[in-house]
Structure 1
C-alpha cells in the first residue's frame, strides 16, 4: 500500500472511530419547558404565598412554580398535568424538657383535595400562551 492510500485509510478509520465515540456518548435530549402563568385564589382572595406543582400524568415529573400575591409564572414541561396547590404557614415551636425547640416547622393549609388527592388539571401547550386560574378553599 503506498503512502497516500495508507493515509486515506487511516483518515477514514479515524473518522469512523470518532463518529462511533460521539454516538456512544450522546445523552437523551433534555425536554423543552414552556412558560406558564396565572392566578391562584384561596377562599376567593389571592393566595398570599405558596406553590403550584404541575405533575405529568404520563410519567410523574413534577415542576414547581412559586406563588406570590396570588400570581405565578415559570416554565414547565408540556402535556397533560395534574395540578397541586400548597400554601405553608409556620407552626409554633415545640417545647421539650430541654427548652424550646429551635427548629420551626411549616404546615400546608390547603386541603388534600387540592394537592395529594387533587382533581385539578391543566394541559400545558407547546407555546407561550399557557394562562391558568386555580380556585382553592381552606375547607
Structure 2
C-alpha cells in the first residue's frame, strides 16, 4: 500500500470540507455589503442598543452596539452585511432590560424614526448616528 504524504492528506481534507460547505442545502445569499458604524447619545457612545436596517422590500439587517457604541450589521445569524439599497434605520435601547417597553430613546429614532441609510454595493459602508435624548 502506497503511503500518502501528510501535506496531501491535509489538502484533500480541506478540499472535501470546502465541498461540503457548498452543499449545505441552505438558501444562497444575495449580494451583501459590509455595514458598520457607531451610535452616540448626547456625545457619548451608546452601548447595548438594538439597530435595525429595514428595506422597502426584503430582509431586515440587525446589530447590537458594543461598549463603544460600535456595530456591524448581520444579514442572518451566519452572514454579516446588508443588501445594497435604501433603508429606514431604527435604534432602540431599553432603560432596564428586565422591564420590556421601557424605551430610553425618543420615538424619532425607533417607532417614528426619521433615520435613513443608503447602503452601496462593492464598498464598505460606515455610518455614524449622533442621537440626542431630547
Q: TM-score over 0.5 for the alignment? A: yes
Question: Is the CA contact 1:43–1:138 (under 8 Å) kept in the aligned structure 2?
Answer: yes
2:116 matches 1:116? no
State the distance in 2 between where 1:82 and 1:52 align: 11
Aligned residues: 100
Question: Residues 13-92 of structure 1: matches in 2 within 5 Å?
Answer: 30-57=29-56, 59=57, 61-68=59-66, 69-74=68-73, 75-90=81-96
Partner SS state of residue 113, structure 1: helix
Consecutive unaligned residues in structure 2, runs of 5 or more: 1-26, 74-80
Partner SS state of residue 76, structure 1: coil
Shift of 1:83: 0.8
Consecutive unaligned residues in structure 1, runs of 5 or more: 1-27, 92-103
Shift of 1:119: 1.2
Runs of 4+ in 1 over 6 A off after TM superposition: none
Q: Which has the higher helix share?
A: 1
2:99 matches 1:105? yes
Shift of 1:138: 1.7
State the distance in 1 between where 2:42 and 2:64 align: 19
Residues 116, 61 of structure 1: alpha-carbon distance in 2 compared, 3 angstrom cutoff: farther
Residues 60, 135 of structure 1: alpha-carbon distance in 2 compared, 3 angstrom cutoff: farther
Question: Is the CA contact 1:36–1:128 (under 8 Å) kept in the aligned structure 2?
Answer: no
Shift of 1:61: 3.1
2:126 matches 1:131? yes
